[in-house]
Structure 1
Amino acid sequence: MKNYILQDTPFVVPTTDGKLIEEHFGQATDGNSGISIAHMVAPPGWSEPFQTPEFDEYTYIIKGRKQFIIDGETVVLNAGQSIKINRNVRVQYSNPFGDECEYISVCTPAFSIEKVNREE
């Protein structure tokens, strides 16, 4: 038995907003509820509803820019920057810019649709 897991077939989360989500580790991929790691690409003009997740979320921007509205404060991250947003904080993620944004997201505990608490 190997002491590692090589992930080369991530779970592609179905979306309707043009965003690519490839979960490498997490509940959808390997049943891990402790952590999720996903590679994402958000197209220009993409946004999600406000949410108050029950998990900490770390984001590292690979390419482009991503906008966060965190408790009413607007923060824009550029390539090479990262952020941690604590659980139970109201946040909106978006890419209101003209180029796509590529990033890595890590959630602890793992992302789940039941714990994201998106506003309708």
Structure 2
Amino acid sequence: MKAKATHRQPNLFLEIFKGLGANKLTLALLVVILASSLSVVQVTHLARQQLIEQDKLLQERDELDLEWRYLLVEEEFYSQHARIEEVATMQLEMKRPTSQDEKVVILQ
């Protein structure tokens, strides 16, 4: 009984391939659909890689911007010393002592 039942049921994959072989246009369209779906997957993967790279570059830009700000603060700090020295020289008429102006005091 089972032998007759298996003969009645056609092999689905065999029937599909027979149908595709008989109709060349359908086979060509199937190949085009598969190729386009694979290209969509590839393009999506590349786009995600580009987004990851963009995020890394934006993070690096933020770190460099922060470092730049620290350098500006440091520059401002050192420029204040020069400003103090300029005010001392111009307004208070102060000057750096020379070797003749120095006195050595010896403690015993």
Q: Same fold (TM over 0.5)?
A: no
Which structure has the higher relative contact order (CA within 8 Å, separation 6+)? 1
TM range (shorter): under 0.3
TM-score (norm 1): 0.16
| Largest Rg, 1 or 2 | 2
Between Structure 1 and Structure 2, the one with more helix by share is 2
TM-score (norm 2): 0.18
Between Structure 1 and Structure 2, the one with more strand by share is 1
